[in-house]
Amino acid sequence: MLDPILLWSGLVNGLLQGAIYALVALGLTLIYGVLHIINFAHGSLLMLAMYGVFLLFSQFGIDPYAALPIMVVGMFVLGYGLQRGLISRASHGRDENILLVTLGISIVIENLALFFFQGDTRTIDVPYAFDSLEVFGVFIAIPRLIAFAAALLIAGLLWLMIQRSDVGRAIRAVAKEKQGARLVGINVEHIYAVSYGVGIACLGAAACLLMPTYLVYPTVGHAFVLIAFTVVVLGGMGSFPGALLGGLLIGLCESFGGLFLGESFGQIGIFLVFIVVLLFRPSGLLGSRV
């Protein structure tokens, strides 16, 4: 059981998988941190983005990595529109309404996907899907390595944007003190929509990075969204470094849990860690607001 190759593989695979979780969670944590929206539509929007990547590849032959800018911009626009045109209007500023609206959006998107794609599982077959790199006896799939690097990069960029740019400063101001931000001339509605858009754009990126090795079906979001919520709470609501750390931690937990307790029982590790963190550090590992 304690074969060093297995431990090494558990470590590598846990980190690689964790980066994907982090990427999905980054958007969620931004949306929560600024808008205080528990975005139930996150999973179905990820699914939508994955179908987007699938369609771009199968209809227009666009490589998933080349599709990244298209998807990021497309998902940003969609997110901006959703927040400005639907969520904020339908919710009348009440949190419980927002919750229901995002839940409603997710139901609509999932059923639309079922209508257009049926329950079918779709995959894309890119030529480099099976390229791998051997590192000390463990094969690392190149697409997963790319996803890992990209997740780190995107987390870094987001953090920079929030810390250094004007938009980032405005986002932080709105998150801290909405009325104050409005008083100094920040267009709060615009900033809300931008935050939601950026959060959803992260899903566009995640979809591009996932599709070369993963598959898409109408309820694929469920496989990620519960994990993403766990990552967000674990890392601290609204914290980017927290989401990254939380994602990697959950990835490792799942990987080692699977290794030691068996693949089906190992998932329990994720929620054990989750409960322990909530008990002793309720604000999450790096719990500070954006």
Partner 1 sequence: MTKAKHPLGRGVSRRRIIKGTASVAALTALGGFPNVLRAQGATVKVGVLHPVTGAIAFAGTQARIGAEMAIEEINKAGGIKSLGGAKLEPVFGDTQGKPEVAATEVDRMAREEIVALIGSFASSNTLATTQAAAKHGIPCIVDVAVSDKIVGRGLDNVFRFSPGFGKCSEDALNNLVNINASAGNLAKTVTIIHEDSLFGSGLAGLLNKRLPDFGFEVIETIAHATPTRDFSNVVTKLRSTKPDLIVPANYYNEYVLLARTMLQQRIQPKAIYSVLGGAASNYRFVKEHPKAAQYIMDCNHWPDPRKDGTQALRQKVEATGKFFTYEVPMNYDCVRLFADALERAASAERGAVKAALSSANWKGMIMPYAAVEFDEKGQNKHARPVNTQIIGDDIEIIFPDELASAKVVYPMPSRG
Binding site for partner 1 (CB under 8 A): 3, 5-6, 9-10, 12-13, 16-17, 114, 118-121, 123, 125, 129-130, 132, 137-139, 141, 144, 213-215, 217-219, 222-224, 254-255, 258-259, 262-265, 267
SS3 (DSSP) at 170: helix
The gap from C-alpha 138 to its chain's centroid, in whole angstroms, comes to 27
Q: Residue 81 and residue 105: Cα distance in Å, rounded?
A: 13
Which residues are registered as beta bridge partners of 174? none
Smallest gap from residue 47 Cβ to partner 1 (A): 12
d(CA 216, CA 12): 24
In whole angstroms, the minimum distance from the beta carbon of 182 to partner 1 comes to 42
Those residues whose C-beta lies under 8 Å from the C-beta of residue 45, and which sit 6 or more positions away, are: 75, 78, 79, 106, 109, 200, 203, 221
Closer to partner 1 by CB, 123 or 283: give it: 123
| Contact in structure between 31 and 37 (CB atoms under 8 Å) | yes
- How far apart (Å, rounded) are the C-alpha atoms in residues 49 and 56? 10
Closest approach, Cβ 56 to partner 1, in A, equals: 17
User: Between residues 15 and 152, which has the closer beta carbon with respect to partner 1?
Assistant: 15
Q: In angstroms, what is the minimal distance from the CB of 144 to partner 1? A: 8
Minimum CB distance to partner 1 smaller for 1 or for 279:
1
Residue number with CB closer to partner 1 (116 or 130): 130
- Tell me if 242 sits within 8 A of 87, measured CB to CB: no
Residue 19 CB, shortest distance to partner 1, in Å, is: 12
Kindly give, in sequence order, each residue whose CB lies less than 8 Å from that of residue 15, ignoring residues fewer than 6 positions away: 148, 248, 251, 252
Residue 33 to residue 27: CA distance in whole angstroms: 10
CB of 261: closest distance to partner 1 in angstroms?
10
Nearer to partner 1 by Cβ, of 3 and 96: the residue is: 3
Rounded to a whole number of angstroms, the minimum distance from the CB of residue 23 to partner 1 is 13
Specify the residue, 121 or 163, whose C-beta has the smaller distance to partner 1: 121
Closest among 28, 35, 19 to 230, alpha carbons compared: 28
Contact 29, 235 (CB under 8 A): yes
Q: Which of 144/172 has CB closer to partner 1?
A: 144
Residue 265: CB atoms within 10 Å: 11
